[in-house]
Amino acid sequence: MNHVKKVVREFSPFNLLFLTLSGIVNAFGVIVFLAPVKLYDSGISGTSMLISQETPSWCSLSLILILLNIPIFLLGLKAEGIRFTVYSIYTVIIYSLAAWVITDVLPIDVSIVSPLAGNDLFLCALFGGIISGCGSGMAIRFGGAIDGIDIVAVMFAKKIGISIGNFVMVYNVLLYVVCGIIIGSWILPLYSIVTYAVASKTIDFFVDGFDRSKAAFIITTKAEKVCKELSETFENGVTIIDAKGYYSGTERSMIYFVMNRFQVGKMKTLVHEIDPRAYIAINDVADIYPANLETDRPEKINQKELQKDFQEIEQSAAEE
């Protein structure tokens, strides 16, 4: 009983809400823009679209999506865990139901042309990719997935000696080649590649964030003064890390500092005013999360809270 309660507590209503939205958004992109003009999505979704076009009408896209995806997610249960598996199956079911509602319930004709983009293949490929990418990215962002191809990649990529990303790419290339052979034309598969590229980029935006923060690594001989100025100027957390030059063997301090992209110029000016010889390296940071994740959905923390955590850690170390 306690185990069941523990499993139930792992599921967040907040995540389920956005997974519901992701399934609906993905269905809208695929059914309203791609399916009417016979463009193909990527992964298992694209495979389902091809099968539904070549089978009797009772074998609908919604049914094939469920039949192909759910067994794949169940096979990946051991590797990905119960929460991811349940979230993903739930999202696929919502995607399938939304696709059925748009196709058979709503008074929208999606049988011949897109109701929004007509028969313009480029517009359908572009907006179909953007919208379906939003749905897929949202699903990943909130702990699930909307397509089983990633699970297939995890299971087989290492066995055949390629990366997961390359496995997915090879799968999609083969899918579009098969589509071209079956339908006897390469126009639709080529436009489908546009959809795949746009959707992939949109997913990256959702997963990594639209406006990444910046993390600066600053190596300086005047660490205390630089930290003081950074903390007072930006009111952000600053961390000092002991470092040592490989060739010179000189002991130095490295400062780790997170800021938004608008603060980068001011930060560089401030540091070089104090130490003109300071070395600064700047990287992108998608999100900042607390070190101890006790909830099922990590919450972002602001940099003042991060500074407080670092101060508590330093105080504990000093007491020891």
Handedness of CA 220, 224, 225, 230 (dihedral sign): positive
Q: What is the DSSP letter of 105?
A: I
- In whole angstroms, what is the distance from residue 311 CA to residue 182 CA? 64
Residues facing 280 on adjacent strands: 218
- In whole angstroms, what is the distance from residue 218 CA to residue 268 CA? 10
b/e burial code for range 90-104 (CB count within 10 A of at least 16 → b): bbbbbbbbbbbebbe
Residue 191: CB partners within 8 Å, gap ≥ 6? Answer: 39, 121, 122, 124, 125
**pLDDT tens across 83-120, in order?**
888 999 999 999 999 999 998 888 888 877 788 888 89
Q: What is the DSSP letter of 286?
A: -
pLDDT above 70 coverage of the chain, percent: 84
Residues facing 281 on adjacent strands: 217
**pLDDT tens across 161-196, in order?**
777 778 888 999 999 999 999 998 899 999 999 999
pTM as predicted:
0.70
Task: Find, among 126, 145, 140, the residue nearest to 34 by Cα.
Answer: 126
Residue 4: CB partners within 8 Å, gap ≥ 6? Answer: none
Distance of CA 288 to the CA centre of its chain: 15
Q: What's the confidence (pLDDT) of residue 83? A: 86
Residue 125: CB partners within 8 Å, gap ≥ 6? Answer: 33, 34, 39, 191, 192, 194, 195, 198
**Domain covering 213-319 in this structure, CATH number:** 3.30.70.120
Q: How many CB atoms lie within 10 A of CB 284?
A: 11
Residues facing 258 on adjacent strands: 215
- In whole angstroms, what is the distance from residue 248 CA to residue 203 CA? 44
Residue 150 has pLDDT above 60, yes or no: yes
**pLDDT tens across 200-255, in order?**
889 888 777 665 678 999 998 889 999 999 998 888 889 999 888 778 777 888 99
Average pLDDT of every residue of the chain: 83
Task: Find, among 216, 212, 244, 239, the residue nearest to 227 by Cα.
Answer: 239
What residue segments make up the domains of the chain, in order of their start? 2-208, 213-319
- In whole angstroms, what is the distance from residue 87 CA to residue 3 CA? 19
Task: Find, among 21, 130, 7, the residue nearest to 77 by Cα.
Answer: 7
Which pLDDT band holds residue 300 (cuts at 50, 70, 90)? very low
pLDDT above 90 coverage of the chain, percent: 40
Task: Find, among 213, 217, 209, the residue nearest to 282 by Cα.
Answer: 217
Task: Evaluate whether 70 touches 147 at the Cβ level (below 8 Å).
Answer: no
- In whole angstroms, what is the distance from residue 262 CA to residue 235 CA? 15
21-35, 47-61, 209-223: range with lowest mean pLDDT: 209-223
